[in-house]
Chain A
Amino acid sequence: MNLLRELLFPLIAVVVAFLIGGILILLIGDNPLQAYGLLFGSAFSWPVGVGYTLFYATPLIFTGLAVLVAFRCGLLNIGAEGQLYMAAFATAWVGITFANVSSWLLIPLCFIAAILGGGFWGAIPGVLKARFGSHEVINTIMLNFIAVALLSYFTQYHYKTPGDPIMQTVPIGEAAHIARLGKFIPGLPEFIPLNLAFVLALICCGLVYLFLWRTKWGYELRATGTNPTAAEYGGISVRKQIIVAMTISGALAGMVGVNEVLGYRYRYYDGFSDNYGFTGIAVALLGRNHPVGVIISALLFAILQRGGIPVDAFTEHVTKDIVQVLQGTIILFVAAEAFFRGPFAKFGLLKRSTV
């Protein structure tokens, strides 16, 4: 019953978005059924479609989790983008610098670099908020710009192969590569970049769930998020929780670096993120700030991303911008729920149950 209530609104949002998208496609002059057929057909085709959909979902699961953890502590982390860049570069740096170390040591080192890089970049706004009360939204946005600019500089002037026209670092050592899933799954070709980071993303979902709802630390973090003055009364240090939540949030965003650097490009590629950090906000919102919801909504966004390509190519008029329309509408509806819970609540719509 409770689960149904939680699922209801996101579901409505998605269905309505597809209806509106359908009308739009019709107005543009194409057949919506054909367009959606192409979209889903491509996203679910085995093995290439499924492989890419899951690959696209991987970073979104990480950033969705990052936003979720901060949100559960009452914080809005707009900085997952900067955090994942810092983490990716740190990962690449370890992979380049210790290229000759054996896999057994190098891969864990790279993981630690990703966690520290993202965690550090997330901890900064956490400390600023805890110490000086400055707002995390402003600070995380600013730190995004700083991260991007800083890393472009390092890429351009210190870590690029001389003469390379592309903004990317030299490759990492082969020992740092993590396996693509094609190696384990029969029928899935290895050129598809879906890699072990996807499995890691699912594990992280489980860990985040256990952490938030089964440990005393998660309890303190959530208590701070729902009522900081009551948390304080219960002997919980609100300042500490803010720093902890932002650090964990940054570290989770940083795991995108593992997917990108160790599993896909094997180097740091400047500006690689397709707004993963920002889409993560929508993923968390649609996923009800719950790890399971994050998996589902990350998959949905990945389907749209993957399915947009053939829609663009094989319809007369519709371009892949339709994907943006769908995403935008979904976000709008999910965000509007706050509104529905507010003034419309008195008409009995979506009223919170009280006994």
Chain B
Amino acid sequence: MLELRNITKRFGAVLANDKVSIVVEPGTIHAIVGENGAGKSTAMRIAYGFYKADEGDILVEGQVHNIKAPHDAIALGIGMVHQHFMLVDTMTVAENIVLGAEPGSAIALDLAKASVEIRRLSEEFKLAVNPSAVIEHLSVGQQQRVELMKALYRHARLLILDEPTAVLAPQEVEEFFSILRRMREQGKTVVIITHKLTEVLAISDEVTVMRDGRVVGRLQTRETNAAELARLMVGREVLLRVEKTPAKIGSSKLRVRNLSVTSRAGAKPVQDVTFDVRNGEILGIAGVEGNGQTELMEALAGLLSPSQLSGEIRIEDRDITREGARLRRELGIAHIPEDRHRRGLLLEFDLAENSILGVHYRPPIVAYASTFFDHEAIHKRASEIIEGFDVRPANPDLPARALSGGNQQKLIIGREFKVDPKLLLVSQPTRGVDIGAIEFIHRKLVDLRDSGCAVLLVSAELEEVTSLSDRLLIIHQGRIVGEVDPKVATIEEIGLLMTRGH
């Protein structure tokens, strides 16, 4: 169906694709996997006419084609759904689908005709989209189906999907996969770009693995496994399962009693939450995103106004409910926030300046008259973090903006570990981070636990939260709806609590 032959693409000095050859057989689901920056999106964007290859050929159904722009690709029956949807929020589903390929004459848009076609497609692929619904009222999963429909409406026979599951909740993913299988049954070909190995194994027929701009493997999915794929992606053996000894649990460090949070808009994202985090354990909180995890962590970190809180937060015996972020940090609370750009980093500042955020006002950072910075102490601290957490490039004078997401995350984690925390609040520690770095971050979290620190972990990755946690709470609509033992609980059991609350 689609073949890339020796595609090479440079962005300035960076070689994004180096003689990449990919063959996608018709009527299959083909996964392209690789770490961030491996060149998988670049290759597919070239196939879609988004970029022009410096060298190499693109073959569609055995013929060499010169694809100069996306409309050339569309004419050849290739459709692409991007990671960030390209929909007009205030327009209806039908209007979005026909946008750029409007039926009827130049002056009279024939939406009725379009609606008939949309319903037919919706029926055929069981997409369940209402053509007259307005985009902004739809869930993310439904919006994604509209994107699929857009491609199908343009008679796409090959669909390229860039990280399609990144935005979906666990149960939406399963639904989405059944749509893909149905498309395959109808004779469509699907290319799915991802870095989640479980999904590759669950859905694809064939896999192409990329690393550093090169294709390093082409495999039949049923003949491979996660360990082999991970090794190909990273280039060395990777531990996929976290190895840890039983927790040596101490006394309670954090005590949360009947905590509720009222948002500025008047909503109650967290309701009557009670739990303890003890020294030497990782307490996990699992839940579908947007069920109060963000607000709970911000409340514990001291980032909400005391007037928004009711209930009690204690560190050992000290009530800190009304204390600000600075005092909480001084009591040994470190915080790895879920959104590193919004909370975690000063992107315009260099790594050295970022490495002192939160401790910038006290020795050894300030040396003279408790006011002036000690430049050497700052650089020493930054270098230690950069070395200890393998931040690349290892240059403390670079702005944080210049780092990749994974390296930014390592910098934040390094900074928070550097304060020798007594309690670590950590949200989505490996979001958007490569497999190799994920392993490293998990190892560090377990080491910290073993040193006696209390850790509270929130993650949308069910696998991550079950494998790391010693105890696991489930949050649903701002309430703790259950506690399970992550060693024995099944994914189904946890998933049910996450979605239904009982």
| Chain A interface residues (CB < 8 Å from chain B) | 210, 214-217, 219-220, 222-223, 226-227, 229-237, 352-355
- Knowing A226-B349, A229-B343, A353-B402 are in contact, say whether A219-B393 is a contact too (CB < 8 A): no
- B343 lies within 8 A of A214 (CB): no
Among B346, B373, B401, B402, the residue within 8 A (CB) of A230 is B346
- A232 lies within 8 A of B303 (CB): yes
Within 8 A of A (CB), among B325-351: 325-326, 329, 335, 337, 342-349
The 4 closest A-B pairs by CB, nearest first: A235-B326, A234-B357, A234-B358, A235-B325
- A220 lies within 8 A of B402 (CB): no
**6 more A-B contacts (CB under 8 A) besides A215-B366, A216-B365, A227-B348?**
A214-B372, A215-B373, A216-B366, A219-B353, A230-B342, A234-B360
B85: interface (CB < 8 Å):
no
Residues of chain B within 8 A of A229, CB atoms compared? 342-343
What are 17 contact pairs spanning A and B, CB under 8 A? Answer: A214-B372, A215-B371, A216-B360, A219-B353, A219-B356, A220-B360, A223-B346, A226-B349, A227-B348, A229-B343, A230-B343, A231-B346, A233-B301, A233-B337, A233-B357, A234-B358, A355-B402
A214 vs B344: C-alpha distance when bound (angstroms): 22
- A216 lies within 8 A of B343 (CB): no
Tell me how far the C-beta of B399 lies from the nearest C-beta in chain A, rounded to whole angstroms: 9
- B346 lies within 8 A of A227 (CB): yes
Tell me how far the C-beta of B408 lies from the nearest C-beta in chain A, rounded to whole angstroms: 12
Tell me how far the C-beta of B413 lies from the nearest C-beta in chain A, rounded to whole angstroms: 14
Q: How many residues of B contact A (CB 8 A)?
A: 32
A295 vs B71: C-alpha distance when bound (angstroms): 53
B398: interface (CB < 8 Å):
yes
A231 vs B361: C-alpha distance when bound (angstroms): 13
A302 vs B403: C-alpha distance when bound (angstroms): 42
A234 vs B373: C-alpha distance when bound (angstroms): 17
A317 vs B371: C-alpha distance when bound (angstroms): 57
Among A214, A226, A355, the residue within 8 A (CB) of B348 is A226
B452: interface (CB < 8 Å):
no
- A230 lies within 8 A of B325 (CB): no
A222 vs B358: C-alpha distance when bound (angstroms): 14
- B329 lies within 8 A of A235 (CB): yes
Residues of chain A within 8 A of B344, CB atoms compared? 230, 233
B324: interface (CB < 8 Å):
yes
Most chain B C-beta atoms within 10 Å of own C-beta, residue among A217, A227, A354: A227
A354 vs B402: C-alpha distance when bound (angstroms): 5
A159 vs B335: C-alpha distance when bound (angstroms): 59
Tell me how far the C-beta of A133 lies from the nearest C-beta in chain B, rounded to whole angstroms: 11
- B402 lies within 8 A of A223 (CB): no
Among B347, B361, B365, B402, the residue within 8 A (CB) of A226 is B347
Tell me how far the C-beta of B295 lies from the nearest C-beta in chain A, rounded to whole angstroms: 14
Residues of chain A within 8 A of B324, CB atoms compared? 235, 237
A219 vs B359: C-alpha distance when bound (angstroms): 11
A214 vs B365: C-alpha distance when bound (angstroms): 11
- B349 lies within 8 A of A235 (CB): no
A142 vs B457: C-alpha distance when bound (angstroms): 49
Residues of chain B within 8 A of A237, CB atoms compared? 324
Tell me how far the C-beta of A264 lies from the nearest C-beta in chain B, rounded to whole angstroms: 34
Residues of chain B within 8 A of A226, CB atoms compared? 346-349
Residues of chain A within 8 A of B360, CB atoms compared? 216, 219-220, 234
Residues of chain A within 8 A of B403, CB atoms compared? 355
Most chain B C-beta atoms within 10 Å of own C-beta, residue among A219, A229, A231, A235: A235
A215 vs B357: C-alpha distance when bound (angstroms): 13
A210 vs B324: C-alpha distance when bound (angstroms): 28
- A233 lies within 8 A of B325 (CB): yes
Residues of chain A within 8 A of B348, CB atoms compared? 226-227
Residues of chain A within 8 A of B358, CB atoms compared? 233-235
Residues of chain A within 8 A of B337, CB atoms compared? 233
A251 vs B325: C-alpha distance when bound (angstroms): 30
Residues of chain A within 8 A of B326, CB atoms compared? 235-236
Tell me how far the C-beta of B348 lies from the nearest C-beta in chain A, rounded to whole angstroms: 5
Residues of chain A within 8 A of B398, CB atoms compared? 355
- A355 lies within 8 A of B345 (CB): no
A267 vs B358: C-alpha distance when bound (angstroms): 48
Residues of chain A within 8 A of B329, CB atoms compared? 235
- B345 lies within 8 A of A227 (CB): yes
- B345 lies within 8 A of A230 (CB): yes
A236 vs B325: C-alpha distance when bound (angstroms): 8
Residues of chain B within 8 A of A216, CB atoms compared? 360-361, 365-366, 371-373
A222 vs B348: C-alpha distance when bound (angstroms): 10
Whose C-beta in chain B lies nearest to the C-beta of A232? B303
A227 vs B349: C-alpha distance when bound (angstroms): 10
- Knowing A230-B342, A230-B344, A232-B303 are in contact, say whether A223-B357 is a contact too (CB < 8 A): yes
Residues of chain B within 8 A of A354, CB atoms compared? 401-402
A180 vs B342: C-alpha distance when bound (angstroms): 51
A232 vs B366: C-alpha distance when bound (angstroms): 19
- B349 lies within 8 A of A355 (CB): no
Most chain B C-beta atoms within 10 Å of own C-beta, residue among A217, A234, A236: A234
Tell me how far the C-beta of A326 lies from the nearest C-beta in chain B, rounded to whole angstroms: 31
Whose C-beta in chain A lies nearest to the C-beta of B340? A230
A214 vs B360: C-alpha distance when bound (angstroms): 11
Tell me how far the C-beta of A219 lies from the nearest C-beta in chain B, rounded to whole angstroms: 5
Residues of chain B within 8 A of A232, CB atoms compared? 303, 325
Whose C-beta in chain A lies nearest to the C-beta of B345? A230
- Knowing A233-B335, A352-B401 are in contact, say whether A215-B353 is a contact too (CB < 8 A): no
A354 vs B393: C-alpha distance when bound (angstroms): 11
Residues of chain B within 8 A of A220, CB atoms compared? 360-361
A231 vs B329: C-alpha distance when bound (angstroms): 13
Whose C-beta in chain B lies nearest to the C-beta of A219? B360
Query: What per-residue 1/0 map shows which CB atoms of B359-403 lie under 8 Å from chain A?
Result: 011000110000111000000000000000000010000100111
Tell me how far the C-beta of A131 lies from the nearest C-beta in chain B, rounded to whole angstroms: 13
Query: What per-residue 1/0 map shows which CB atoms of B281-320 lie under 8 Å from chain A?
Result: 0000000000000000000010100000000000000000
Tell me how far the C-beta of A334 lies from the nearest C-beta in chain B, rounded to whole angstroms: 19
Residues of chain A within 8 A of B349, CB atoms compared? 222-223, 226
Query: What per-residue 1/0 map shows which CB atoms of B12-49 lie under 8 Å from chain A?
Result: 00000000000000000000000000000000000000
Among B301, B347, B373, the residue within 8 A (CB) of A219 is B373
Residues of chain A within 8 A of B342, CB atoms compared? 227, 229-230
Tell me how far the C-beta of B101 lies from the nearest C-beta in chain A, rounded to whole angstroms: 26
- A214 lies within 8 A of B373 (CB): yes
Most chain B C-beta atoms within 10 Å of own C-beta, residue among A216, A220, A230: A230
- A230 lies within 8 A of B361 (CB): no
Residues of chain A within 8 A of B366, CB atoms compared? 215-216
A169 vs B349: C-alpha distance when bound (angstroms): 48
Whose C-beta in chain A lies nearest to the C-beta of B392? A355
Tell me how far the C-beta of A1 lies from the nearest C-beta in chain B, rounded to whole angstroms: 12
Most chain A C-beta atoms within 10 Å of own C-beta, residue among B356, B371, B393: B371
Tell me how far the C-beta of B419 lies from the nearest C-beta in chain A, rounded to whole angstroms: 11
Residues of chain A within 8 A of B361, CB atoms compared? 216, 220, 235
Whose C-beta in chain A lies nearest to the C-beta of B353? A219
Residues of chain B within 8 A of A219, CB atoms compared? 353, 356, 360, 373
A306 vs B133: C-alpha distance when bound (angstroms): 66
Tell me how far the C-beta of B392 lies from the nearest C-beta in chain A, rounded to whole angstroms: 9
A225 vs B344: C-alpha distance when bound (angstroms): 15
A355 vs B13: C-alpha distance when bound (angstroms): 10
A222 vs B365: C-alpha distance when bound (angstroms): 17
Tell me how far the C-beta of B14 lies from the nearest C-beta in chain A, rounded to whole angstroms: 10
Among B301, B303, B371, B393, the residue within 8 A (CB) of A217 is B371
